[in-house]
Amino acid sequence: MPRSRTPSPAGPGRRPRSGRIAPLLWFAAWAVPAFGLSLGLEHRLDQLRKPDAEAGVLDPAAIEDHALFAGLRDQGLIVRGKDGRLAIPEADWGLRHLQAALEMGAPPPFGGREWRERRKLVAALHGTDNGRHVRTQIGLWNSSRAVVAIRDNRRRGHAGQVPVFPPVNTPWTAAAVSGPESGRRLDRLALTPPASFDAFARTMPVGMANWQVFPGEDGRTVRVATRLLAPLPAEGVEIQILGRVRPGTLPPGARLTPLCGGADCAMATVHVAGGSPGDVEVSLEVEPVPLDRSWFTRGMIQLSQDKDGGLHWMPRTRPPSGTIPAQVTTADGVALTAGEDGRPTADAAALGLLPVIGHGRSDRRGVSGLLDGRVDRFSPATVALTIDSRVQRAANQALAEAMAEPFGTAKSPDPYAGQRRASIVALDPQTGAILAGARWPRPPSGLHPWDASALSHLGGTLDPLAPIAWQGMDSDNAPGSTFKLVTALALQSAMDSGDEAAIGGFLAGCPPNADGGFSCLGLRTGTIAYSIPPQSHATHNFRSPQRGFTPVGDSLRAGEMERAPVCVEGRREQTRSFGLPQAIRDSVNVYFVRGAELLDADAARRYDAAMRRLGPRTPLPAPPASRLADTIRAAGFEHSVDLAGAARPFLGSLHPAGGVRPVLEAEAAQIDLLYLLDRRADTPWRNFGAVDVLSQTAMGQRVLANPLHMARLAAGIAAGALPVPHLFAEWNGQALAPPAPSALPAADVSLLRRGLKMVPEVGTAAGRHAFGRWAGTPADAARCHVYGKTGTGEVDAARSRTTMWFVGWAAAEFFSGDFFPAPGGEKPAWNRPVAFACQVTHGVNDRRTGGATCAPIIARFLELLAKPDAALPLSQPVKVSDVD
């Protein structure tokens, strides 16, 4: 240790010798006893490192890593340089400060609590396990101030599994090109791009390996290199890079594509052409990207910087050691996960179940990731979902066949070909078990979990991995006329209560009078539009391109039948009166607007009048009573649904860490009629008027719902009680009881069922491409066992596109084997009732109604289920081009 400074020799102006006695005595009194510079240095060094319990300072070994980092930061012992790197105190920090104090002639810094606090922090930093962890984290932070990241999609084999991501990273190496350490090989960093970084994920990079990240501090250029082994695939190899690639270093024939604009662009892909007879050496020089502009999370790095530049210590997120992955199957025993990482099997991908299963234990949206946090995660678990592979395959095939047909022609092109999506959800009407959840476009297989997570940030329905049967809603989720089922239930409920005798006649119907009026309805045979006074505009019936708006009397014209003759022993039952069944059969809009008027118009008008008198200081009026709103709530539209069912006690919390929406959360509907309870000044009730919102809601406008909502409603009408949809059937071989159903809003739904029976037989779903497709064959009588309702949601004011629906159920008799017999006498793939909902968005041209699009899809779906299981081969996983 350097000697302390001594007085200079006697000379002009020096003090007498006696004047130097006091400083010498002071030095002897402090320096010699305290540090034993010549008589006990080792003893004092040991004292510097010992705890100072009597001072009230913690033992260094007891300081947790997060508290240690915070203490060092707050005491100014961690210093950040201009380059963002952190400097920490040396192990002999105390001795250095003592030496500096002595050289300056200052008192030793032993007397204050602040000194003792700092000494303990430094001792903990260099003498404990937690201190070693903090030093490691700071080292990782410093080495990652600038990075280069790279990955590629060279092929890897996966026997029996989907190539969700390669089992090992591709062998990239990196070395510094510039700087004082030029040529030195660089170690990889434990960094990962965050899910919000989706520039690469938008390209649907199937088969990509994980990112490999290398340090590039001090602005040095990094050379990354690998060898692509022959034979290269015909489509070539795609390399993704985060960093600025020097074009002059590309291999011959390679193509560089920036993924952003401007000279500062640091995202690119390099395409190496296929067909090379030999190995291809790839060596690229890449300029690193500063971490604050590379959008990388730190993976194993626990330090975080806030927007103001402050440093914080993040908790460790290591998974519990010894966790055993759960094995997941379908209800009929098809394995959906395999391996220690819980990755989906090839069958899971072929069934289109990646949105449900997820991409492994690290994907906290999917079932596999949610099961990794189960209560008994340290014990083996076998979990069976309610999804049946036979029903799922039939739904997949029906969607694929329908979506392969064009929506446009040469004269009328399809402007929405790249935006259209479709979904089928199937339920057991009695239990609510989800039997299928199919979507189109099919979820791409072969994605790395990072890409799957990044794609989720594209948002709701744009996410190709979202289970759109019950998640992700936008303006294309308008259910249209299928929502008339809710209005019918509200009317039936009002009649059941006995307080509206007029509603009974309105539902049962009556024949027209001699003058064309319906005494029980308040409508006329020529009515094509209706408005609830004082509405300034009217709601119209369906508009046919050939005949214009359809009058109510068309439901009574010659040839209109109550049932298909094949279903009633050949009889031709002519329609003589008009009520709820006929309004359902022909989807007559004005009937349901008039029904809403009978239900709630008086209360809505009083509310609108109060709103018109509203002054700047007048409180909002009380919400009006609404029987339609009450029915909407009772039918389960207002709240989200936990699809875990009876498995919830085994799973723990519904929401996983990270703020992602788990697959087990079915979204609530969005219905303007319910927003009045919010009582905000900007509620749609104030902007548009309660009467207007009421009339539109009655026919399915100003409503957003998903297929699961509508399938659940159909199941409730079929079974007489509203089931709770759920996804888990068995846990470790033990059957899980279905959740208890809730009461249907109306007790008597016979008239409603009668109308739903008529739709596929003689109504809006009876066309030759839908349930009339079997006319003249033994299968024609199959439609006698189907109930349904078509719907066409108007999405925008210009009516440039629609959303098409068909919801309902098929009775068990449909699958008896009598209608679609197999040549070898094999049994049908299915033999139980099934409720369903089909949704297809972006309807245009002659495929813009539910009867023209979704009804044929469901007819094909049911037909496939009624045939032998051999007719349902597993679909092949889609290619990238299929989902672009």
- Per-residue pLDDT, 752: 97
**Alpha carbon separation from 297 to 142, 166, 300, 457, 808 (Å, rounded):** 14, 21, 9, 16, 47
Is there a contact between 198 and 308 (Cβ–Cβ < 8 Å)?
A: no
User: Does the pLDDT of residue 627 top 90, yes or no?
Assistant: yes
Q: Could you please report the per-residue DSSP string of 544-562? A: ETTTEEPPGGGGGSTT-BS
Is there a contact between 118 and 71 (Cβ–Cβ < 8 Å)?
A: no
**Structural tokens at position 56:** 């009230």
**CA–CA dist 664, 642 (Å, integer):** 6
**CA–CA dist 438, 508 (Å, integer):** 38
- Per-residue pLDDT, 221: 86
- Per-residue pLDDT, 566: 92
- Per-residue pLDDT, 196: 46
Confidence tier at 578 by pLDDT (50, 70, 90): very high
B/e letters for 475-494, b = 16+ CB within 10 Å, e = fewer, are ebbbbbbbbbbbbbbbbbbb
- Per-residue pLDDT, 317: 46
CA-based Rg of the chain, rounded to a whole angstrom?
36
Is there a contact between 795 and 474 (Cβ–Cβ < 8 Å)?
A: no
Contacts of 282 by beta carbon, 8 Å cutoff, 6+ apart: 225, 226, 227, 228, 239, 251, 254, 270, 272
Give the DSSP letter of residue 44.
H
Is there a contact between 729 and 385 (Cβ–Cβ < 8 Å)?
A: yes
pTM of the model as a whole? 0.75
Q: How many CA atoms lie within 13 A of 359 on its CB side?
A: 24
More confident call, 254 vs 723: 723
Contacts of 790 by beta carbon, 8 Å cutoff, 6+ apart: 481, 482, 587, 759, 763, 764, 765, 805, 806, 849, 850, 851, 854, 855
More confident call, 658 vs 489: 489
More confident call, 379 vs 815: 815
**CA–CA dist 829, 137 (Å, integer):** 58
Lowest mean pLDDT among 378-387, 430-439, 520-529: 378-387
Is there a contact between 564 and 784 (Cβ–Cβ < 8 Å)?
A: yes
Give the number of other Cβ atoms within 10 Å of residue 15's Cβ: 10
- Per-residue pLDDT, 741: 97
User: Tokens 């100072």 appear where?
Assistant: 52
More confident call, 327 vs 318: 327
Question: For strand 802-810 and strand 786-794, is the pairing parallel, antiparallel, or unpaired?
Answer: antiparallel
Is there a contact between 101 and 110 (Cβ–Cβ < 8 Å)?
A: no
Backbone dihedral region for residue 80 (phi beyond 0: left; psi -120 to 50: alpha; all else: beta): beta
- Per-residue pLDDT, 99: 80
- Per-residue pLDDT, 20: 42
| Bridge partners of residue 297, in order along the sequence | 192
Provide, rounded to the nearest whole percent, the portion of the chain with pLDDT above 90. 40
Average pLDDT, the chain: 81
Dihedrals phi, psi of 157, to nearest 5 degrees: -90, 145
Give the number of other Cβ atoms within 10 Å of residue 290's Cβ: 15
**Structural tokens at position 604:** 């809505």
pLDDT digits (tens, 9 = 90+) for 207-253: 777 788 888 765 678 899 888 887 787 888 888 888 888 888 888 88
The burial class, CB within 10 Å (0-12 / 13-18 / 19+), for 4 is middle
**CA–CA dist 855, 402 (Å, integer):** 11
User: Does the pLDDT of residue 176 top 90, yes or no?
Assistant: no
pLDDT digits (tens, 9 = 90+) for 445-479: 666 666 766 666 665 566 777 778 898 788 899 99
Q: Which strand (E) or helix (H) includes residue 729?
A: strand 728-731
**CA–CA dist 296, 289 (Å, integer):** 10
Contacts of 256 by beta carbon, 8 Å cutoff, 6+ apart: 245, 247, 250, 268, 269, 270
Provide, rounded to the nearest whole percent, the portion of the chain with pLDDT above 70. 78
Give the number of other Cβ atoms within 10 Å of residue 570's Cβ: 8
User: What is the signed CA dihedral for 652, 654, 660, 665, rounded to 10 degrees?
Assistant: 140
**CA–CA dist 474, 699 (Å, integer):** 18
- Per-residue pLDDT, 601: 94
pLDDT digits (tens, 9 = 90+) for 84-112: 778 888 888 878 877 877 788 777 666 67
Distance of CA 124 to the CA centre of its chain: 44
